Amino acid sequence: MFDESKPKPQPKQFETQKTSISSKLQGKVKVKQKTQSVSLEGDKIEIKKGEYIKLLGITSIDRTPLFYSNLKYVYLLELTNNLDFIATSILGGELDKMLLISEENNEQGKCQFLVKNNLIYIVYGVFPDKKGKWILEQMNKHFFGLIKGRDVNKLSKLEKHQIVSKFEGMIRFIIEEYLKLQDVFSDQDILYIEDKLRIDYIGLSSRSIGVISLLLGDELNIEMQQEFDTPEEVNEMKESLLTAKIEAIAANTLGNTGAMPRWIAVKLGFQNYRFLTFQKLKNDYFLSFLSEGNLEKLDTVEDQIEPIISTVTQNKFTGDLRPFNQLKILFMETFKETREFS
């Protein structure tokens, strides 16, 4: 039997002793820090001050949307397919990056892409190139494991739901790992190995109406569906086709995102890029270039051309093309000697 004459254990003394032991151990054992909890809800995923992600998305090259982390920016999946079409056809490369500038507040955001296994992965937000590339590679690694052996364009609703549910957990894991690697990642963007920028096309438009279209050189692969009698007719048709596609991309992007693309980059090879660039001018004019080389030289090109263009952009477009036809001739003379800027 239990002897009630003996003193009972004192809970408070036990707790005090436990606390004392715990205090001693804390000085010897490194306490593991909790990983920041990642939520896909809200307008964006905060990474650190000045860096964030607004959308992680996946679409097939056959235009089947497969995943998006934020419904607010789901329109970027269709836009990505449109960009991929122009990248692989006219620009002759692989879709790589796009910089968007908001019409409302001039806020900048970057879309970075990875095209692999007939899928296009997208990350949109503000982050350095190398961090975006790491996220895209991780997305491909985990998502491809889920759909391996399946036709992603013929998934049932149930199959797609199951894949998306599993992948959302993987996305949280990817972002958690991304947060842990902040000290490992470089904040420097990828450098260009070229030291010049070559201009292959110049376009000037007003409210989506092309007023100047000038193709320079024959580096761009523009396939024609019909035959023409003279080289001049072929060139004019190529210029018209380029203008129509470029204006469609600009209008589509602005209409869906409320932002104008500053540039769209297509990768031709190792650190070799072709660019479609846009510059907003006064009186609702936009200047566009198709170029190849070093994007950092773009400001040099625009600064040299701006005084020439200002002669016709000082007034709003009224429908009279004569001043623009004269400017096109001046452009042809200007670029006759060289199309490269350093």
Residue 48 bridge partners (DSSP): 51
- Predicted confidence at residue 27, as pLDDT, reads 47
Q: Which class in CATH covers the domain with range 45-180?
A: alpha beta
Residue ranges of the chain that CATH labels 3.30.450.50:
45-180
Phi/psi zone of residue 125: left (φ > 0), alpha (ψ -120 to 50 degrees), beta?
left
Lowest pLDDT segment from 38-42, 245-249, 254-258, 270-274: 38-42
Which residue's entry shows tokens 């198709």? 290
pLDDT > 70? residue 76: yes
- Per-residue confidence band for 21, with pLDDT thresholds at 50, 70 and 90: very low
Of 63 and 35, more confident: 63
Residues in the chain: 342
- Predicted confidence at residue 342, as pLDDT, reads 86
Q: Are 146 and 163 in contact (CB under 8 A)?
A: yes
pLDDT > 70? residue 123: yes
pLDDT > 80? residue 120: yes
The pTM of this model reads 0.82
pLDDT tens per residue, range 167-176: 999 999 999 8
pLDDT > 50? residue 15: no
Interval 130-144 mean pLDDT:
94
SS3 17: helix
Residue 206 bridge partners (DSSP): 209, 285
Domain at 197-261+269-341: CATH architecture? 2-Layer Sandwich (3.30)
How far apart are alpha carbons 178 and 75 in whole angstroms? 25
How far apart are alpha carbons 169 and 39 in whole angstroms? 10
- Predicted confidence at residue 16, as pLDDT, reads 40
pLDDT > 80? residue 62: yes
CA 86 to centroid of chain Cα atoms: 15
pLDDT > 70? residue 36: no
For 234-246, b/e burial (b = at least 16 CB within 10 A) is eeeebbebbbebb
